[in-house]
A and B are shown apart, each in its own frame.
Chain A
């Protein structure tokens, strides 16, 4: 007890900084906000032991006790959990998440306690099934899109990974990744093609209404495009596009595919090549014409003065 008091005294300034955190959080953060670096766990995973107490306190979860999510540390923070520390449903969920959640599957499962509805949607999504059913060690869980739960801020703040300004880059973390694209048979050109599209160009310029990835593909409950439940499945596209383009028909919704130029789409590709040839042809002509004329005018002024006899 005395040792604890000494530690508490030493970290007193930090305790003031993390003012909004609860008493138990103080105890954990006393060490974990000061510790730097990573440690290797029994499961041979490197874990960052540092928690920035200031950022934690200002996050949406800043008022939580650590053990509200890190339930297995209920009795003793540095010993294996006792039976009964972790509620059965969370423990079962944590087990299904264990392929991906290396650091603390229980804490990842604990999100479901408050965010039940979106968690369920995620479990049935292509991202959720990938981890829970296919037992993959990559793919998106809560943290991949929202960042560390210690620092989650409202999606309306600029620092939020799912903020409108950041969401395309967040999706791009995986969907521009060559390795993941190959593994899951996705195109790594999707984000690039979005950036080149009208929607993407306006998005880059800060247009407030233009759709981002989640506007059309859904967020937590995202499905593969050929799943009938996906909002971008052929059957649903007229409704999805119709949100912004009333009167959208099957013919209209074919406009967006995210397909690259080239073999899949040769007409625009060669059309653009043709236009560029025309462009440079005209440029070459006008630039050549203007320069030759400038040359001849200077020559006439300097060397052919006798020609200027028309003036009366």
Chain B
């Protein structure tokens, strides 16, 4: 091991980790309290709702968790604005979470590698295209599920905002938005996020980054070579 290199790299600070924990707790609570309402005709739904103390209580918990999640999201956006605005976080091609044309190329290259068309894996920066997909999916979800959820929580107040030509169908649309996109979010998290952060061989049973915020230098070198290069390129070079 190179003496100039630390053993670990601080990937996420405490604010970012806290935002993630709030997001994950509220997400699970929302999924478990809301699921039954999507499939009320299924017998197990009654049992699931019973766990939360009945349909009424489950509804109240769902609303509280939803508003908490939205506030967490607003906090994150303000925080990102602050970090970028004050220059504490710098916009760089290799570390930004903003999707770039390179991500499309990375994805095509990665899939080529999976199926054996290419012998080399793409070189990722701080965030791979899968991470970016994960991250922006939350933004999409907040817009679609969060906004429709707010409207459904305050239907009378929301009705004042809607134009009169929309009132005959807007509620159906809002409900479909809320419930179908929630299903999408749940399947996405269960499948994509859980596979990437829990089941990939080096992450099993889970990547500890969400608690410690740290990643080992070895993992960083393999998973995020471009960011590694940016941070430690000159130090690592004299290996």
Contacts and interface: CB of A to CB of B under 8 A. Distances in A.
A201 B156 contact: no
Interface in B1-44: 1, 36-37, 40-41
Contacts of B159: 248-249, 251-252, 255
B184 A282 contact: yes
Contacts of B56: 207-209
Interface stretch (A47-55, A57-65, A97-105, A285-293): A285-293
A276 B180 contact: yes
Nearest to B41: A204
A44 interface: no
A278 B168 CA distance: 24
B168 A254 contact: yes
Interface in A265-311: 265, 267-268, 271-272, 275-276, 278-279, 282-283, 286-287, 289-290, 292-297, 299, 301, 310-311
B123 to A, nearest CB: 14
A246 B154 CA distance: 11
A156 interface: no
Nearest to B163: A251
Contact of A275 (B46, B116, B171, B176): B176
Interface in B169-214: 169-173, 175-177, 180-181, 183-184, 187-188, 191-192, 195, 200-201
A206 interface: yes
A276 B179 CA distance: 11
A292 B180 contact: no
A205 B192 CA distance: 31
Contacts of A201: 37, 40
A206 B57 CA distance: 11
Contacts of A247: 156-157
Give the secondary structure class of A's interface: helix
Nearest to B152: A198
Contact of B173 (A200, A246, A271, A312): A271
A208 B218 CA distance: 57
B108 to A, nearest CB: 12
Given A287-B191, A292-B111, A251 B180 contact: no
B237 interface: no
A257 interface: yes
A202 interface: yes
A252 B1 contact: no
Q: Report the contact-size class of chain A (Cβ under 8 Å from the partner).
A: 35 or more
A286 B191 contact: yes
Contact of A202 (B37, B160, B167): B37
A195 interface: yes
Contacts of B191: 283, 286-287, 290
B167 A254 contact: yes
A292 B114 contact: yes
Contact of B114 (A207, A251, A295): A295
A181 B170 CA distance: 28
B168 A257 contact: yes
A249 B85 CA distance: 44
A224 interface: no
A255 B40 contact: no
Nearest to B38: A201
B56 to A, nearest CB: 6
A278 B184 CA distance: 9
B221 A202 contact: no
A293 B162 CA distance: 45
A201 B171 CA distance: 14
Contacts of B61: none
Contacts of A251: 159-160, 162, 164, 167
B39 to A, nearest CB: 9
A249 B160 contact: yes
B142 interface: no
B49 interface: yes
Interface in B72-123: 111, 113-116
Contacts of B170: 255
B201 A207 contact: no
7 contacts: A255-B155, A261-B172, A272-B180, A279-B180, A292-B111, A296-B116, A297-B200
* Smallest CB-CB A-B distances: 10 pairs: A268-B172, A252-B159, A207-B55, A204-B40, A292-B114, A254-B167, A205-B55, A296-B114, A267-B169, A286-B192
Interface of A: 195, 198, 200-202, 204-210, 245-249, 251-252, 254-255, 257, 261, 265, 267-268, 271-272, 275-276, 278-279, 282-283, 286-287, 289-290, 292-297, 299, 301, 310-312
